[in-house]
């Protein structure tokens, strides 16, 4: 039982930090894992898994010519899916920069026949479309650089661990490249760091200061460091859905569409649109963001199996935008078995899985406010649903009984909006 208006207010307050507001309100972003590893098409860990020598791996660059890359098309797909920001791998663990980097020649503009700067093209397309561009940067793991030093996943087939001098990598590549990303691509919404294993507290703080000195409003995720409490928001484990209230900071779930991040021809285990929409409402109902990944091909396209799923998710997010963007999670600690809840001042949205649509009425406990109106969001006529509210004195429970339409009103998850008296 959680008739708790104080908790309601707290949930509301979480969203009001002006630096993170665009991100928490946006709720849904596109993750893009794209790099030289698209060529062998076995995921972004290919170089490490196959222990491919640096010189041999570099040769892949000659074959990387993604002439079908179209920044506007990618941004349009993100927008169509209902995603408000994009996080693209500027450099993954293989050390290959996906932009024109003066700091290191191992980059797409200088080392491939393609010769273009996809991040510059994306920055322009995002600016035009009102989508926030963000960069993933592998700050500790770099299998190309002789001096990158990580707790576990180092290139030990080309380089000797004992000869590594981490500061040469740090000052010579990581920091200069981060500077390029934060000075040559306009506003960067956030930097997504990954896998900080072994990074000292001092170097963790050094990189945060570096980012803040260049773009103070650029957000940083928690994976920048293993030291507690660093970063503006928490990235949960890959594909892990968090719980609200564990950490004062806002959080996200990074999620794959299949079981991989980088492009691979091997993995064909795709989540259905039904699953994706249920995951999305589960995450936002707990107050988190969903960062959903695509792994583009070596030709520069987003695989059609990914695109078709995102378009289907987008049809749903378009109809239910009001219950997604700018919402807070549920004020109730228990996850309802029928789906999820989101809230706005004076409003509650019930995201009901269509599979749970067996009863003709839904019984909710804990809402004290008078319900002024209830209707299905996807119902164009917005017919009022009849509601009954009463207070069960012996149980000390506020009970709301809503008469549901005879059939689900939307694909996969049907949303009922409640207008409440007061906040």
Size of the site for ligand H79 (CB under 6 A): 9
Identify the three-state secondary structure at position 253: strand
Task: Report the C-alpha gap between 393 and 218 in whole angstroms.
Answer: 51
Task: Report the C-alpha gap between 278 and 271 in whole angstroms.
Answer: 11
Looking at the Cβ atoms of 33 and 91, the one nearer to ligand H79 is: 33
Q: Indicate whether 238 belongs to the interface with ligand H79 (CB under 6 A).
A: yes
Looking at the Cβ atoms of 185 and 193, the one nearer to ligand H79 is: 193
Task: Report the C-alpha gap between 62 and 56 in whole angstroms.
Answer: 11
Q: Indicate whether 193 belongs to the interface with ligand H79 (CB under 6 A).
A: no
We find the least distance from the C-beta atom of residue 263 to ligand H79, in angstroms, to be: 12
Label each residue of 176-198 as H, E or C. Answer: HHHHHHHHCCCCCCEEEECCCCC
Helix axes 273-285, 304-319, angle to 10 degrees: 50
Total count of residues recorded for the chain:
423
Q: Which stretch binds ligand H79 (CB under 6 A): 41-49, 52-60, 274-282, 405-413?
A: 41-49
Looking at the Cβ atoms of 118 and 408, the one nearer to ligand H79 is: 118
Written as six digits, the tokens of 286 are: 């707990």
What is the CB neighbour count within 10 angstroms for residue 184? Answer: 16
Looking at the Cβ atoms of 220 and 341, the one nearer to ligand H79 is: 220
Identify the three-state secondary structure at position 371: strand
Q: Which stretch binds ligand H79 (CB under 6 A): 11-19, 42-50, 157-165, 273-281?
A: 42-50
Task: Report the C-alpha gap between 155 and 146 in whole angstroms.
Answer: 8
Quick one: which of 23, 28, 37, 45 contacts ligand H79 (CB under 6 A)? 45
255 to 294: interface string for ligand H79, x by CB under 6 A: ------x---------------------------------
Looking at the Cβ atoms of 142 and 194, the one nearer to ligand H79 is: 194
Q: Indicate whether 252 belongs to the interface with ligand H79 (CB under 6 A).
A: no
- Residue with smallest beta-carbon separation from ligand H79: 45
Looking at the Cβ atoms of 48 and 270, the one nearer to ligand H79 is: 48
Q: Indicate whether 35 belongs to the interface with ligand H79 (CB under 6 A).
A: no
We find the least distance from the C-beta atom of residue 291 to ligand H79, in angstroms, to be: 9
Looking at the Cβ atoms of 261 and 357, the one nearer to ligand H79 is: 261
Q: Indicate whether 195 belongs to the interface with ligand H79 (CB under 6 A).
A: yes
Query: Burial of 148 by CB count in 10 Å (0-12 exposed, 13-18 middle, 19+ buried)?
Result: buried
What is the CB neighbour count within 10 angstroms for residue 363? Answer: 10
User: Which residue, among 15, 16, 17, 20, has the nearest Cα to 218 in the 3D structure?
Assistant: 20
Q: Contact positions toward ligand H79, by CB under 6 A?
A: 33, 44-45, 49, 194-195, 238, 254, 261
């Amino acid at each position: 039982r959680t008739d708790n208006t104080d908790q309601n207010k707290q949930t509301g307050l979480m969203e009001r930090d002006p630096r993170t507001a665009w991100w928490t309100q946006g709720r849904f972003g596109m993750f893009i894992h794209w790099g030289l590893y698209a060529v062998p098409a076995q995921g972004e860990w290919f170089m490490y898994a196959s222990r491919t020598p640096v010189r041999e791996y570099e040769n892949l660059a000659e074959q990387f010519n993604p002439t079908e890359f179209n920044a506007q098309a990618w941004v349009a797909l993100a927008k169509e899916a209902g995603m408000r920001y994009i996080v693209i791998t500027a450099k993954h663990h293989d050390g290959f920069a996906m932009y024109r980097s003066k700091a290191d020649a191992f980059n797409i503009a200088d080392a491939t026949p393609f010769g273009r700067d996809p991040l510059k093209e994306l920055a322009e397309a995002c600016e035009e479309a009102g989508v926030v561009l963000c960069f993933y940067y592998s700050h500790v793991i770099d299998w190309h650089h002789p001096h990158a030093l990580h707790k576990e996943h180092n290139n030990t087939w080309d380089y000797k661990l004992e000869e590594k001098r981490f500061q040469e990598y740090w000052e010579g590549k990581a920091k200069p490249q981060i500077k390029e990303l934060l000075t040559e691509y306009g506003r960067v919404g956030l930097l997504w760091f990954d896998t900080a294993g072994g990074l000292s507290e001092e170097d963790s703080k050094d990189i945060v200061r570096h980012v803040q000195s260049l773009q103070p409003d650029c957000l940083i995720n928690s994976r920048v460091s293993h030291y507690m409490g660093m970063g503006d928001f928490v990235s949960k484990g890959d594909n892990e859905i968090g719980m609200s209230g564990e950490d004062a900071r806002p959080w996200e779930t990074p999620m794959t569409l299949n079981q991989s991040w980088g492009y691979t021809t091997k993995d064909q285990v795709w989540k259905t649109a039904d699953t994706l929409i249920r995951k999305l409402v589960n995450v936002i109902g707990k107050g988190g963001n969903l960062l959903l990944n695509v792994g583009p091909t070596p030709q520069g396209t987003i695989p059609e199996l990914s695109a078709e799923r995102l378009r289907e998710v987008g049809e749903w997010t378009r109809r239910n935008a009001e219950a997604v963007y700018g919402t807070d999670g549920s004020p109730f600690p228990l996850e309802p078995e029928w789906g999820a809840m989101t809230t706005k001042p004076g409003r509650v949205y019930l995201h009901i899985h269509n599979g749970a649509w067996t009863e003709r009425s839904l019984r909710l406990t804990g809402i004290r406010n008078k319900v002024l109106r209830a209707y299905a969001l996807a119902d164009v006529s917005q017919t009022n649903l009849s509601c009954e509210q009463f207070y069960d004195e012996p149980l000390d429970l506020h009970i709301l009984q809503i008469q549901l339409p005879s059939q689900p009103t939307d694909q996969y998850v049907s949303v009922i909006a409640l207008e409440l008296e007061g906040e």
